[in-house]
């Protein structure tokens, strides 16, 4: 009975969050926002300082300052870069298939793409985790639904809950540990059903 009510609660909260976030696109900035509207929260930084963080790719500083919109702009920048490197790699792959003289160029392009993809993935994980930890720190278990939304928005359910569970265990929060374990169990049962 307890599992069913928790499951119902989680589903209801997911639906609520998804409806609430549809209007503004979740935690990421809207595509229609101008460069001067980099962060919608009451920032202590000027728009110029926020743009400078993006220019310098300083996602760690953005997270430290709780400027997650700015940090996600940097993540998007790295994703765009990885996409460009992938297109370049594909171009050289096609050339190398026709003429072996292009093989070295393809190998170099592939290495650059793999490096940029790793940078994008690592940065995205860092920002998602930092935002989620901030939510936990400021809202505790009441922030779990917001964390579910963050995980879904950034396709991070497969690793984020496990990372947070580790933190909950280390700080000795048994209620948070139990709830996160239930979320992990729910995700793994969904994965099992998809595989069947």
Could you tell me which residue, 13 or 73, shows the higher pLDDT?
Answer: 73
Look at the chain and report how many structural domains it folds into: 1
Q: Which residues contact 78 (CB under 8 A, 6 or more apart)?
A: 57, 116, 119, 120, 123, 124
User: What is the spatial distance between Cα 104 and Cα 71, in angstroms, rounded to a whole number?
Assistant: 35
Give me the domain span that covers residue 161. 49-188
Examine residue 166 and state whether it is found in any structural domain, yes or no.
yes
Instruction: Give residue-wise pLDDT tens across range 4-32.
Output: 444 444 444 444 444 444 433 333 433 33
Examine residue 41 and state whether it is found in any structural domain, yes or no.
no
For the chain, give the percent of residues with pLDDT over 90.
71
What is the structure's pLDDT at 50?
94
Instruction: Give residue-wise pLDDT tens across range 100-154.
Output: 999 999 999 999 999 999 999 999 999 999 999 999 999 999 999 999 999 999 9
Q: What sign does the CA torsion over 155, 163, 19, 14 have? A: positive
pLDDT at residue 95 above 50?
A: yes
Examine residue 105 and state whether it is found in any structural domain, yes or no.
yes
What is the structure's pLDDT at 196?
61
How many C-alpha atoms does 35 have within 13 Å on its Cβ side?
7
Map 67-135 to HEC letters. CHHHHHHHHHHHHHHHHHHHHHHHHHHHHHHHCHHHHHHHHHHHHHHHHHHHHHHHHHHHHHHHHHHHH
What is the structure's pLDDT at 25?
38
User: What is the spatial distance between Cα 47 and Cα 67, in angstroms, rounded to a whole number?
Assistant: 11
């Amino acid at each position: 009975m307890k599992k069913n009510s928790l499951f119902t609660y989680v589903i209801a909260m997911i639906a609520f969050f998804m409806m609430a976030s549809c209007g503004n696109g979740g935690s990421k900035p809207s595509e229609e926002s101008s460069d001067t509207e980099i962060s919608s929260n009451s920032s202590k930084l000027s728009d110029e300082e926020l743009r400078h963080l993006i220019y310098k790719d300083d996602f760690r500083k953005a997270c430290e300052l709780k400027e997650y919109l700015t940090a996600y702009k940097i993540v998007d920048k790295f994703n765009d870069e990885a996409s460009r490197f992938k297109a370049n790699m594909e171009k050289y792959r096609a050339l190398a298939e026709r003429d072996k003289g292009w093989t070295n160029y393809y190998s170099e392009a592939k290495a650059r793409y793999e490096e940029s993809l790793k940078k994008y993935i690592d940065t995205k994980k860092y920002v998602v985790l930092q935002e989620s930890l901030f939510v936990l720190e400021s809202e505790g278990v009441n922030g779990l639904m917001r964390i579910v939304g963050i995980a879904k928005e950034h396709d991070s359910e497969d690793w984020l809950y496990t990372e947070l569970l580790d933190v909950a265990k280390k700080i000795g929060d048994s209620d948070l540990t139990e709830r996160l374990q239930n979320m992990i169990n729910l995700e793994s049962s969904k994965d099992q059903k998809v595989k069947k």
